[in-house]
Amino acid sequence: MPKRTKPPYAPTPADRATVQNLAALGATHADIARCIGTDGISEKTLRKHFRRELQNSLSEVKAPAMSQVVAGMKRGEAWAVCFFLKCRGGWKETQALQHSGADGGPLKSEHVIRFVPPPLR
């Protein structure tokens, strides 16, 4: 009697979506491979059939998010401008905490957030 072999793996659209989502979230190849098909696949098979998804998923997920920040900046929305300057412009928030008032008197409560531009080069 001839030995039965497993049919070759053929990726489905659902498998591609699973790989894309898990790769974008930072799952390991071993974890992703276990989630594919009915019984999982090997990491080698994962890399063979899903190279594009493994390489590009994070960029494809970040692109719409980044475009929303850019659109917010173009509309003049303060949250988008602050987010961009802190994440990509080198700015940072600083806070100061004072435990007593002037000359040891009562503390006057005031909360100040200051945005500090990066040093000029």
| Whole-number Å distance between alpha carbons of 80 and 15 | 35
**Could you read off the pLDDT of 17-65 as tens digits, one per residue?**
999 999 999 999 999 999 998 889 999 999 999 999 999 999 999 999 9
pTM for the structure as a whole = 0.60
Nearest of 87, 67, 63, 65 to residue 75 by alpha carbon: 67
112: its two tokens: 């100040």
Give the per-residue pLDDT at 16. 95
In-domain check, residue 32:
yes
Sign of CA dihedral 26, 28, 29, 35: negative
**Domain that includes residue 91, residue range:** 13-116
| Whole-number Å distance between alpha carbons of 118 and 92 | 8
Give the per-residue pLDDT at 8. 85
In-domain check, residue 101:
yes
**Chain centroid to CA 75: how far?**
24
**Domains: count for the chain:** 1
| 109 pLDDT more than 70 | yes
